[in-house]
């Protein structure tokens, strides 16, 4: 709630009903006064992609292209794959996803859920982390037990579901022709 200086009444910032005084919240008045037709999308034609703000980039930056990844590439191959600089792909993915103790869907746990790993198995993976093992590494080991084993394309689709387009694009843009 916000206390208005010219009034002794507390008025919620967002309401579905009028307040005790019969007035609606200031936010409600503002949103009804501004027409959606008046708000324009920003013109991003001449802005380099790496200069876009996060508010604009979500609408402008494309989805990762999983077609770059060979259809037969299994997720277990991630440990042998290298990026354009020769660094192991798995280390990058691990560094980005290894957040423990978070139920956030943008971590290894969210990817596991998107790939249909059970909650019990995810809890075991987290327990394994406390014994000095990377949860992303343990998740990859779990994927290797699936029949059929998931493909890298499926892994990237799970990353997109978890809103980890940064990691998904990294994988899609790796030099697959050198595989």
Please write the tens of the pLDDT for every residue from 55-86: 444 444 567 889 999 999 999 999 999 988 99
pTM above 0.85, yes or no: no
CA distances from 129 to 64, 99, 100, 110, 135 (A): 29, 10, 8, 16, 6
CA nearest neighbour of 19 among 27, 29, 9, 32: 9
Whole-number average pLDDT of the chain: 75
Domain ranges across the chain: 2-33, 64-178
């Amino acid at each position: 709630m916000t206390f208005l200086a010219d009034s002794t009444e507390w008025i919620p910032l967002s309401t579905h009903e009028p307040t005790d005084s019969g007035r609606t919240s200031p936010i409600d008045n503002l949103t009804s006064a501004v027409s959606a037709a008046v708000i324009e999308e920003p013109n991003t034609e001449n802005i380099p992609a790496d200069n876009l703000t996060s508010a604009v980039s979500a609408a402008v930056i494309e989805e990762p292209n999983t077609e770059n990844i060979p259809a037969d590439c299994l997720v277990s191959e991630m440990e042998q794959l290298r990026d354009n600089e020769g660094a192991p792909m798995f280390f990058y993915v691990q560094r980005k996803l290894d957040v423990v103790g978070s139920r956030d869907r943008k971590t290894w746990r969210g990817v596991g859920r998107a790939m249909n790993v059970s909650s019990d198995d995810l809890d075991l993976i987290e327990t394994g982390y406390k014994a000095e093992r990377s949860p992303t590494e343990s998740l990859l080991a779990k994927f290797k037990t699936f029949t059929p084993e998931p493909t890298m394309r499926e892994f990237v689709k799970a990353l997109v579901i978890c809103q980890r387009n940064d990691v998904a694009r990294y994988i899609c843009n790796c030099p697959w022709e050198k595989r």
